[in-house]
Amino acid sequence: MNELFVQALPILKKIEDNGFEAVFVGGSVRDALLNRTIHDVDIATSATPDEVKSIFSKTVDVGIQHGTVLVIENGESYEITTYRVESEYVDYRKPKEVKFIRSLQDDLQRRDFTMNAIAMNMNGDMIDPFGGQQAIQRAMIETVGNANDRFSEDALRMMRALRFVSQLSFTCSDETLQALKDNQDLLKNISIERITAEFEKLLCGVNVQEALQLLIDTNLFTYLPGFSDKKNELIQVAQYDLHKVCNVDEKWAVLLYYVVNLNEVESFLRAWRLPVKRIRHIRAILQAVYHENYDDKMTLFTNGIDCSLSAIRVSYFLKHQDSKQAEEQAIEIWNSLPIHDSSQVNVNGTLLTEWSNREKGPWIRETLHIITTKIINEELPNNTEAIYKEVHRCNLI
């Protein structure tokens, strides 16, 4: 049994000692069967949230309406979720009612795919009523029960199917694949945030090329923000093995290089509800890719080393070239820069206004830019006296 399961065994035992059932379930059991790294274990129980809270002294209500209680024991925290069924879905996404139940089998039945509907008890025995282990052995994604029904209950499951194709290199069963094609339009009912979370996992999987191809073949891509008329562009992206790109923002940059113009990047990513900071970062990477001047000191300084290295990796990846040498060169130039941040310049706007007796205005920014450029290019030492002389000599103020 994996170390993380062993660590959590006392939790299961405590629940069972109180007369309830408790098992490991979901992604951690699946990943353990696949010998993949497990990050956290999910525990399911026949005890209601109130009963769980009465068993443990330290608990937090993290999602009590869904039946999840966070238990803190020996400095570790565990999410414990009551067995439940979700009756009657509204708008293909929201269960009308979550009902707590005592039957593990019924809880497993409401789960999306057979590989995710396996439970493991304290002794390491598998409870696997839907043939999940067999599906894992055959590397198959198959829904628990009828695929059409399951996708129309919650259309996000279609995106989950594709992200598992990408993460696990599994294949969709024929029935699942057909249902993806038949229910594609239901994806429009799903909130962007949920789609984005699954799509980013898809982008980061080892088998991303296959998953992108499936997005195209099933037509699901048309329901992703900004992609409805981008089939040809997506086909081009699917030629690349995005798994070889370093991180998710660089993967976005490669994707967007084909899908939109630089001036459309921001609105495109806003539609995906990405945080503003990440949107700016991805846009800066792309701008540097278009600019393609990685050895220029001022460009390096302005973009910063992280963005510059990302731009180099993206740019070389797009050209099918190895970026290692260019990255090393950029790091060398970066390390040789006299300053790495504009706050290190030994003059500021207030000092410039004092020196010039001029009103504050856009000239301050322009002057600071000229001074910074001279410092970066080592035409001017970064000390206040030298800067004072230089601004007068060049009539900058």
* Interface contacts to Mg ion, rule CB under 5 A: 27
131 lies in the binding site for ligand ATP (CB under 6 A): no
107 binds, among Mg ion, ligand ATP, none (CB under 5 to 8 A by kind): none
Q: How far is the CB of 103 from ligand ATP (least distance, A)?
A: 16
Which lies closer to Mg ion via its Cβ, residue 27 or residue 338? 27
116 lies in the binding site for ligand ATP (CB under 6 A): yes
How far is it, in rounded angstroms, from Cα 303 to Cα 72?
A: 43
Stretch that binds ligand ATP, among 153-161, 241-249, 253-261, 386-394 (CB under 6 A): 153-161
List, in order, residues 6 or more apart from 326 with CB less than 8 Å away: 294, 312, 316
How far is it, in rounded angstroms, from Cα 274 to Cα 226?
A: 13
Q: How far is the CB of 202 from Mg ion (least distance, A)?
A: 15
21 binds, among ligand ATP, Mg ion, none (CB under 5 to 8 A by kind): none
67 lies in the binding site for ligand ATP (CB under 6 A): no
DSSP code at position 360: P
Q: How far is the CB of 26 from Mg ion (least distance, A)?
A: 6
Q: How far is the CB of 165 from ligand ATP (least distance, A)?
A: 13
218 lies in the binding site for ligand ATP (CB under 6 A): no
How far is it, in rounded angstroms, from Cα 255 to Cα 253?
A: 5
Q: How many residues bind ligand ATP (CB under 6 A)?
A: 10
95 lies in the binding site for ligand ATP (CB under 6 A): no
Binding mask 227-246 for ligand ATP (x = CB under 6 A): --------------------
304 lies in the binding site for ligand ATP (CB under 6 A): no
How far is it, in rounded angstroms, from Cα 281 to Cα 269?
A: 11
142 lies in the binding site for ligand ATP (CB under 6 A): no
Q: How far is the CB of 239 from ligand ATP (least distance, A)?
A: 27
120 lies in the binding site for ligand ATP (CB under 6 A): no
Which lies closer to ligand ATP via its Cβ, residue 85 or residue 339? 85
Q: How far is the CB of 94 from Mg ion (least distance, A)?
A: 20
Check: CB of residue 266 under 8 Å from CB of residue 288. no
In sequence order, what DSSP letters do the residues of 46-108 get, joined into one string? Answer: SS-HHHHHHH-SSEEEEEGGGTEEEEEETTEEEEEEE-EEEEEEETTTEEEEEEE-S-HHHHH
**Checking DSSP bridges between strand 171-172 and strand 140-141, what pairing results, if any?**
parallel
Residue of 2, 21, 24, 26 interacting with ligand ATP (CB under 6 A): 26
Stretch that binds ligand ATP, among 46-54, 110-118, 216-224, 300-308 (CB under 6 A): 110-118
How far is it, in rounded angstroms, from Cα 246 to Cα 255?
A: 13
84 lies in the binding site for ligand ATP (CB under 6 A): no
DSSP code at position 321: -
Residue of 21, 107, 112, 142 interacting with ligand ATP (CB under 6 A): 112
Residue of 157, 230, 251, 313 interacting with ligand ATP (CB under 6 A): 157
DSSP element (H, E) containing 326:
helix 324-336
27 lies in the binding site for ligand ATP (CB under 6 A): yes
Reading the block at residue 276, the tokens are 């503003």
Which lies closer to Mg ion via its Cβ, residue 36 or residue 369? 36
112 binds, among ligand ATP, Mg ion, none (CB under 5 to 8 A by kind): ligand ATP
Which lies closer to ligand ATP via its Cβ, residue 112 or residue 390? 112
**Residue nearest to Mg ion according to CB distances in the complex:** 27
Reading the block at residue 161, the tokens are 């199917």
Q: How far is the CB of 27 from Mg ion (least distance, A)?
A: 4
**Residue nearest to ligand ATP according to CB distances in the complex:** 27
Kindly report the number of other CB atoms within 10 A of residue 90's CB atom.
10
**Checking DSSP bridges between strand 76-82 and strand 42-45, what pairing results, if any?**
parallel
User: Half-sphere exposure of 246 toward its Cβ, with a 13 Å CA cutoff?
Assistant: 18
The owner of tokens 């699946």 is 30
Reading the block at residue 326, the tokens are 């260019």
Kindly report the number of other CB atoms within 10 A of residue 181's CB atom.
12
Please give the C-alpha separations between residue 270 and each of 1, 258, 265, 283, 323, in angstroms, as whole numbers. Answer: 43, 18, 8, 12, 30
> In angstroms, what is the C-alpha Rg of the chain?
27
User: Could you list the residues that contact ligand ATP (CB under 6 A)?
Assistant: 26-27, 42, 111-112, 116-117, 154, 156-157
